[in-house]
Amino acid sequence: MPQCLNVKSTSRSEDVHPNSHPAQSQESSADGTPRSNGLRSPIDIDREYRNSLYTNSYNEVWTRIQIDRSDSHDQEVEIQHRESIEERLERILSRVLQPNQEHVQEALDRARPGKLISLVKDYLGESHRTMALFLRLQEGAYQAKTVYDPLMEFLSVLPSEAGSLTESHCHRAYHIFAQFDAHGDPFPCPPLNGFEQMRCKFSQLKLYLDNRIKRTHSRAHLVRQASSRPALCLIGTAVAAAVAAAAITAHSLLAVVVAAPCAANYLRTPSNFAKRELARAAKLRDAVKLTYALDKHLETIDPLVVKVQTRVERDKELIRMGIIRGGDPYHIQQVVKHLRSNPSDLLDDLKHLQEDICVCFTIVNKVRSLLLEQISSDHTVAS
C-alpha cells in the first residue's frame, strides 16, 4: 500500500515545491507533442489561498454555512426538538458538499470497476467524513467568537491602566467574566489526527494519478508518432495504386475519390485521440494540484485549532480565578492585566480558521467534480 504523505509544516507565504509533483513546464515539439523542459512547477499555497477567497464557489460555501448557522440560531429551541446535532450537521453538509451524494452514487454505479474507481470511492467517502468534522470546527469557531466578542468589547473600553479600574468597572467585569465562564468549551472534541485518514487517501490517490498522467502522455505521444509516417505511406500507396489502375480502367478514379477521405480520417482520428488524452491529463493534473493544496491546508488547521483551544482554556482558568474571589477589585485588576497582556489575535485566528475551512470545502468540491468527470469520461470511452 502506498505510504501516506509526511510533509513538514509550512506557512501560507511559502512557495511549496512538492518533490513528487508531476506537473512540469511543457514545451511543444515540432509535431505538437508536449515535451518536458525538466523544471518542476511550484504550487504557491499563499496565492492559491488568496485566489480561493474570491471565487464564487468560496462565497457560495461561506453563504450557505452562515445562512444555516443563522437559521439554527434563530430556531434553536425548535431545532433541538426536531433534530440532533449530527442530523443538523448532516443537513448542512448535504447543502454545502458538491457534487451531492446522489450524483456521486450515480456516477460510481455507472463506472467500470477498477483501481481508479476504488481510490475515488475511498476519497469521496473520506472527504464526506472530513467535511463533517470541518462543520464541527466551524460551529466551534462561531461559538468561540460569540463568547469572546463581549469580553473583547469590554476590555477595549476599560482604562489603559488596570490599577485605574473603578468599583463600577470591577462590578461589570465580574458579570462579564461570569457569562464567559458559563459557556462550555467551543471545541470539546479536538481533531487530533482527525485528518490523517484523509491525507493518507490523498497520498494513495495522488500516486495513482501521477502514474496515470504519465501513461496518458505516453499513449498520446505513441499515437502521434504512429500516425505520421504510416499515414503518409497509406496515402502514397493508395495514389500509386490508383494511378497504376487508371491504365487498366477508368473506374479506378472512383477508388481514388473513396480512398482519400478514408486516409484523411485515418490522419484525423489519432490526432483527436491524442488531444483527448492530453486534455484528460490536464484535468488529472489539476486534480493532483488541488489535492496537494488541500493537504497543505489540512496541515495548518490542526495546529490552529490547538492554538485556539489552548488560548480558550488558559483564559477560562484565569477568569475563573477572578470569579472565585467574588469580584475582589485586586484580583479583577490582575485578570484584566493578564488578559490584556495577550495580544487580541484570537479573533483573527478564529477568522482564519473559518476561512481555511471554507477554502477546504471549495477545494474538496473541485476535486470531487474533477474525479467524477474523470470516471464518467472513462465510462463514456468504454461505451
CA distance 259 to 254: 9
% of the chain residues with pLDDT over 90: 6
- 3-class secondary structure, 16: strand
pLDDT value for 52: 53
Least confident residue range of 32-36, 155-159, 215-219, 290-294 = 32-36
- What confidence tens digit (pLDDT) does each residue in 237-266 have? 544 444 444 444 444 444 444 444 444 444
pLDDT value for 292: 81
Looking at per-residue pLDDT, the higher value among 361 and 278 belongs to: 361
pLDDT value for 163: 74
Beta bridge partners of 362: none
Which of 156-160, 178-182, 213-217 tops mean pLDDT?
178-182
Secondary structure of 201-264 as H, E, C letters: HHHHHHHHHHHHHHHHHHHHHHHHHHHHHHHHHHHHHHHHHHHHHHCCCCCHHHHHHHHHHHHH
pLDDT value for 148: 92
- What confidence tens digit (pLDDT) does each residue in 311-360 have? 888 999 999 988 888 778 888 888 988 888 876 688 889 988 888 888 88
Secondary structure of 87-137 as H, E, C letters: HHHHHHHHHHCCCCHHHHHHHHHHCCCCHHHHHHHHHHHHHHHHHHHHHHH
% of the chain residues with pLDDT over 70: 61
> Could you tell me which of 179, 355, 200, 374 has the C-alpha nearest to residue 285?
374
CB 120 within 8 A of CB 205: yes
Asked whether residue 205 carries a pLDDT value surpassing 60, the answer given is yes
CA distance 132 to 357: 11
Looking at per-residue pLDDT, the higher value among 228 and 151 belongs to: 151
Q: What is the mean pLDDT of residues 146-166?
A: 86
Looking at per-residue pLDDT, the higher value among 234 and 55 belongs to: 55
| Confidence (pTM) | 0.65
Which of 24-28, 113-117, 277-281, 282-286 tops mean pLDDT?
113-117
pLDDT value for 175: 92
CA distance 312 to 144: 8
Q: Report how far Cα 356 is from the mean position of its chain's Cα atoms.
A: 10
Asked whether residue 58 carries a pLDDT value surpassing 90, the answer given is no
- What confidence tens digit (pLDDT) does each residue in 30-41 have? 444 343 433 344
Q: What is the mean pLDDT of residues 162-166?
A: 79
Asked whether residue 272 carries a pLDDT value surpassing 50, the answer given is yes
> Could you tell me which of 185, 97, 178 has the C-alpha nearest to residue 135?
97
Task: Report how far apart, in Å, the C-alpha atoms of 218 and of each of 29, 141, 210 are.
Answer: 14, 48, 13
Task: Report how far apart, in Å, the C-alpha atoms of 333 and of each of 106, 162, 165, 275 are.
Answer: 63, 5, 7, 72
